[in-house]
Amino acid sequence: ENLCSKDAALVSAVRGSAIPALVVATGFLWSLFGSLRSLCANVERGEVFSEGNLLLVRRIGWIFVANSLVGFAAAYWAAHLMGGYLRQHVALTGIKTGPVYFTLPSGTLPYAGLDGFLIGCLVLMLSEAFRQGLALKSENDLTI
């Protein structure tokens, strides 16, 4: 319960930075795997180019884009909280320093940086290929 620390400010900073990251990651993975499960089930039934799959592929792309933006905000919030704690409780001596900043690497949250945004954009482009495939399938179905 106390994260093995008697320092209430540290416990608060760790909880305040970890909980949003966990919520973002859990929501992202839940929605991503749910959409992927539905997409795979449709493909298994033989529905490759369908309106439902087009919507699922678009949803997956938007999930990646949204997660990268929200994940970036959560990482920024965590850096702000931990930086505040470090500025108040850590003193560096012997070296000339300016303000102490605590930053998180871009890969701290799943796809919380540019990589998730790019993956989302690529999946959205793939959804356009699905849309064109659906249009060709519909045209082919009308011809036969």
pLDDT tens column, 104-123: 554 444 445 678 889 999 99
In this prediction the pTM is 0.72
d(CA 35, CA 120): 14
Coarse DSSP helix, strand, coil percentages of the chain, rounded to the nearest 5 percent: 75, 0, 25
CA-closest candidate to residue 104, choices 125, 137, 78? 78
Q: Do 114 and 121 touch, CB atoms closer than 8 A?
A: no
The one-character DSSP state at 84 is: H
Alpha carbons 135 and 44: distance in angstroms, whole number: 21
pLDDT tens digits, residue range 5-55?
677 887 788 888 888 888 888 999 999 999 999 999 999 999 888 889 999
